[in-house]
Chains A and B, each alone.
Chain A
């Protein structure tokens, strides 16, 4: 990074911290610290919800995802707008009416304290670990790219935001997220503009999309159906996106305190609803545009030679490997030959496009497809060698940043790196605030034998925020030692628990006849067992059972509902039998 990049990076980060601390002033009680005294308007709610959901990986990984797999990832968000509507109708009014601090507080009112404790504990466990990973994931990418020390990078990624999150609570989180998103969107727009500008003179924006589309990258809508019927293992298609994505979004926005805590800060139910509905309107187009940057980068790399693998650290691994060194050298030579041929063909393709020569367009398009298949198969081989030599063979997260660092001008690189930090800070700060609120409200306050003054509650909450912040940084530090498998495990963790937690809430909201908290508690445990069994089956090759992870969410949610109904029916039948038995005894 150049000096100018460092200056831009430092100014962006310091500006956000100062702004966060400046906006920290709030009343010294839990209402002020966790709910911003319920004073936020819908605009802040919207930005806060978006800032919480979009982590650094969203901005790094999504363009890379489009580069490798095409645009179809956008379907993952199709269920989100529907979930926003359900939240507005059912969840938001209840949370407001009960004046809860956490979503789980409602479950004690509805069922019992045990159910509240279980769901809140599951949240703390899952969110605490995943936030640690949220610190580590962008840190390891930046560390690999720039050769930075991973421990220092972790400390900056997860440590600096603690300053304003501890001092200002939910208010500071919301206001900094607003500034962060402004910087993030500016940077992403400039990056997209630069990619288009760097394409050859006769290739415009739509031409770049056309080239990408010719090579199968504009696969925005896919049905998931193959010759053999519906492919249940397909992660992203219209149906898994709408159904699985709906359940995932409903559980994430309706039962995950890091999101619930954002819209509880709204000054009214209406402001809260509007923030959520606006999120439903803008999320899909926003994600589409981020993915589109990936297609532009893909087209750019057709005209300019793309690296065989975007994580240079892993390439060094192969180059120094005694087993794969020679094979890798040969593969690299073959890859470069194909890249030169691709450059020539895509230039001819662009000329045919300009001349509107359909016959030539089809011919060059077919040639391009063939060359792309060849380069893909070489890349596949290289990935296999990296995996066999014990390295990380997924370079999706390095594609966009690799492009940024290599091709973007000075200053913009610093801004894009700042985006990584700021996007991380936005989601981590919200997570710390929610972890502290659950620790304080769902545990400390309930189990403390002493009466706590409001000002002391405020101070203790600050300590909890600090404690969780340090915990997440420590998790990030340990993750480096444990390796990538843990990252995958923690990513799956969300899908393993979200569905069940959502199921508990759905029973609470919609099955009024079920009053027995113990029945719901037992149902949650049984449904969790089913989800775990299904998940394990997908991991056993001999079981020959394939299922995309999004489907675990509806399975968990429906599992709780079905078990609750079943237990309710059995206990009702038992009661009737006992009553008959008692009646028979008394009459005899």
Chain B
């Protein structure tokens, strides 16, 4: 684990064109301080989690008010 609590970075090479040096660094931009969480992945999980919760809540509202 790195200092920031990340797993070793996974890198996806996206092309081999003249811009082949360009790589997407999934968990890069470590210079940026990530608010609230230690990794962006946690933010992604939060967004998905909230979406799932909303769908469950909406389903419950549908059943309750219908």
Contact = CB atoms under 8 A, between A and B. Distances in A.
B29 A220 contact: no
B8 to A, nearest CB: 17
A270 B33 contact: yes
The 5 A-B pairs of least Cβ separation, nearest first, read: A213-B65, A270-B32, A218-B65, A220-B58, A269-B29
Contact of B22 (A94, A212, A214, A271): A94
Contact of B51 (A78, A93, A109, A288): A78
B45 to A, nearest CB: 9
B28 A285 contact: no
A110 interface: yes
Interface stretch (A81-89, A186-194, A413-421, A453-461): A81-89
Contacts of A82: 48, 51
Contacts of A218: 61-62, 65-66
B48 A285 contact: no
A458 B61 CA distance: 52
A221 interface: yes
Interface of B is mostly: mixed
Contact of B43 (A210, A216, A277): A277
B22 to A, nearest CB: 6
A270 B44 CA distance: 13
A515 B15 contact: yes
A303 to B, nearest CB: 18
B13 A284 contact: no
B9 interface: no
A209 B28 CA distance: 46
A94 B14 contact: yes
A273 interface: yes
B51 A221 contact: no
A238 interface: yes
Interface of B: 13-19, 22, 24-26, 28-29, 31-35, 40, 43-44, 46-48, 50-51, 54-55, 58-59, 61-62, 64-66
B35 A512 contact: no
A210 B32 contact: no
Contacts of B19: 98, 109-110
B55 to A, nearest CB: 7
Contacts of B24: 89-90, 93-94, 509
A512 B21 CA distance: 12
A213 to B, nearest CB: 3
A280 B48 CA distance: 9
A528 to B, nearest CB: 23
Contacts of A210: 65
A84 B47 contact: yes
Contact of A98 (B16, B22, B44, B62): B22
A294 B12 CA distance: 46
Contact of A213 (B35, B58, B66): B66
A512 B14 contact: yes
Contact of A508 (B15, B26, B51, B55): B15
Nearest to B64: A213
A111 B14 CA distance: 13
Contacts of A269: 28-29, 32
Given A221-B55, A270-B34, A277 B65 contact: no
A281 B50 contact: yes
29 contacts: A81-B48, A82-B51, A88-B40, A88-B44, A93-B29, A109-B18, A109-B19, A111-B17, A214-B66, A218-B65, A220-B61, A221-B59, A221-B62, A268-B31, A269-B28, A269-B29, A270-B33, A271-B32, A273-B43, A277-B43, A280-B47, A280-B51, A284-B51, A284-B54, A508-B15, A509-B24, A510-B14, A512-B13, A515-B16
